[in-house]
Amino acid sequence: MAEEKKGFFQRLKQGLFKTHQGLVNKIDQLVAGRKKIDADLLAELEEALITSDIGVRTTQDLLRDVSLKVQRKELEDADLLKKNLQEQMYHILSQQEKPFSLSAARPFVIMVIGVNGTGKTTTIGKMAQIFKAQGKSVLLVAADTFRAAAIEQLEIWGQRVGCDVIKQKSGADPSAVVFDGLHAAKSRGIDVIIVDTAGRLHTKVNLMEELKKVRRILEREMPGAPHEVLLVLDATTGQNSISQAKMFHQAVGVTGIVLTKLDGTAKGGIIIAISNELKIPLRYIGIGEKVDDLREFSARDFVEALF
């Protein structure tokens, strides 16, 4: 187990290498050979942070603290700048390190939403594997009836991790599938159900209406459900994921975020903007396509892997 954990950390570190280069190496270069923190250095730092997808607002938040400490003479040495930023980033991320507890309800109902291709179905398969390893019974619900291959894709994951999939024909009303799924889970005494939904562009009104309806059915059939509305965001889309999150949150209410595709992107800094600007718990991160490429989010591991 410890070895396996180390394996994930190493892969996270590898995955974040480009982000590390764009951010940490740049900070090192800026600081090298300079003693004092002056306006020039701060301006260059601002650019480095923004181009690493940390975003304008979060960059300003980070630099405000730096400037204040410089003014108060609490931060004079350029060498300490990196440490200050690392600590601030850890602080921001640790605020949203809040895993959910599956024992809060039975069945615990997770609705997975997001733009097309962000990794919803893959993340569901990986989560099912994690929950099963914790001894939970899991049922998957194929409420993405929009794309023909979507049901099949979920079934493949179901076979792989060993859990049943509730489905109807392609084109069926997603709410009807969810209705079936919830009742099947109740009668079988299932611990967790995970609902896969379609991912059209978030700007399409229909999708939002469909998701609202799915949510209403769950609420109606089980008070307190859905217990988790998990938004899947693709790290490679950078700043765009912030506006996606705002739209989904407004429409259906998001209780947790999964950030996928952190492997190999230079835009990993987006996680800091997401954490700082959205104030929604970060539940999991994905670093690859395979079943064991998902982990509960750890702020400590992330910052260590990045720096």
Ligand X SMILES: Nc1nc2c(ncn2[C@@H]2O[C@H](COP(=O)(O)OP(=O)(O)OP(=O)(O)O)[C@@H](O)[C@H]2O)c(=O)[nH]1
Residue numbers at the binding site for Mg ion (CB under 5 A): 120-121
Q: Nearest-CB residue to ligand X?
A: 199
Q: Output 113 or 285, the one with its CB closest to Mg ion.
A: 113
DSSP state of 97: B
**Greatest pairwise CA separation for the chain in angstroms:** 68
Cβ-count burial 201-230 (b if 16+ within 10 Å, e if not):
ebeeeebbebbeebbebbeeebeebbbbbb
Say how far residue 54 (Cα) sits from the centre of its chain.
15
Q: Which residue lies nearer to Mg ion by CB, 117 or 224?
A: 117
Bridge partners (DSSP) of residue 286 are 294
Instruction: Report the distance separating Cα 119 and Cα 238, nearest Å.
Output: 15
215 binds, among ligand X, Mg ion, none (CB under 5 to 8 A by kind): none
Contact 228, 98 (CB under 8 A): no
Closest distance of CB 150 from Mg ion, Å:
5
Residues in contact with ligand X, shown as a per-residue x/- string from 215 to 254 under the rule CB under 6 A: -----------------x----------------------
Q: Any contact of residue 150 with ligand X (CB under 6 A)?
A: yes
Query: If contact means CB under 5 to 8 A according to the sort of partner, which of Mg ion, ligand X, none does residue 117 touch?
Result: ligand X
Residue facing Mg ion at closest CB distance: 121
Binding positions for ligand X, rule: CB under 6 A: 114, 116-122, 144, 147, 150, 199, 232, 260-261, 263, 286-289, 293
